[in-house]
Amino acid sequence: MRHADEESELPKLIRRYVTPDRRYLKLGGSLLGMRGCERGKFTRKLGEAAGQISPRELCILLDGGWRERKTAAWLIAAAGRTEFRGRLGELLLASQGPYAGQAYCVALATFGTSADADLLVAYLDRYLPRPDLYYDQAAALGTLLLLDTRLGADQAAQFLTPDGLWQHWIVGPPSKDYDAPDSYREFIRQLCDLADESARHCTARRR
């Protein structure tokens, strides 16, 4: 629950970090369509914002709606603020709203440790047995596959066995549009590349 001072501060943070150039709408797949100067300008401004926002302000955004949470997760990714790992994992697992889960996955992917992989495993353990819930299963699996590649691990294999949880989720009602798991890994990798481009402009980047 937000305190009164945070309630009054939130609109200012939204105007400064979330809505400029409709940033919250572009964070995700829309970014992949940007090229040249447009892409460079966007990632530069995102990286600069990631360097300017304080941890307290990020916490306020993470307590907001999906637009604020989505933007905060990208700013966290660009700044490499691993201290938010647990909070992002909680938000991902709770799945209390739409549109932000993919951003949490991108941030965890940029952190790139086994601790981040464990959070994704916990998410898939909870939500792949629920084919009726079309949440962020594909993004989480793609992120886990990417981390497996980077870490030399094989945690995603438990979900991809024949007649395993991924297959049950795919074929379970309602019907779903889906691609091969490796395509989700590639998608998340491209988003991580954008976060890395933004990080070059972040003065507060954690190495």
- Residue 205 pLDDT: 77
Per the CB < 8 A criterion, the answer to whether 150 and 115 are in contact is: no
- Residues 150-155: contacts with CB under 8 Å, at least 24 apart: 150/112, 151/112, 151/113, 151/114, 151/117, 153/114, 153/117, 155/117, 155/120, 155/121
- Residue 4 pLDDT: 54
Model confidence over 151-174: pLDDT tens digits? 999 999 999 999 999 999 999 998
- Residue 79 pLDDT: 98
- Residue 3 pLDDT: 57
pTM: 0.94
The contacts of residue 130 (CB under 8 Å, 6+ apart) are 169
Q: CB 24: neighbour CB atoms within 10 A? A: 24
Q: In angstroms, how far is CA 55 from the centroid of its own chain?
A: 17
Distance CA 138, CA 75 (A): 22
Low-confidence ranges of the chain (pLDDT < 70): 1-7, 206-207
Distance CA 106, CA 189 (A): 8
* Helix runs in the chain, H state only: 4-13, 23-26, 36-52, 55-62, 66-79, 85-94, 101-111, 114-127, 137-151, 165-171, 181-199
- Residue 6 pLDDT: 62
- Residue 155 pLDDT: 98
- Angle (nearest 5°) at CA 44 between 119 and 196: 35
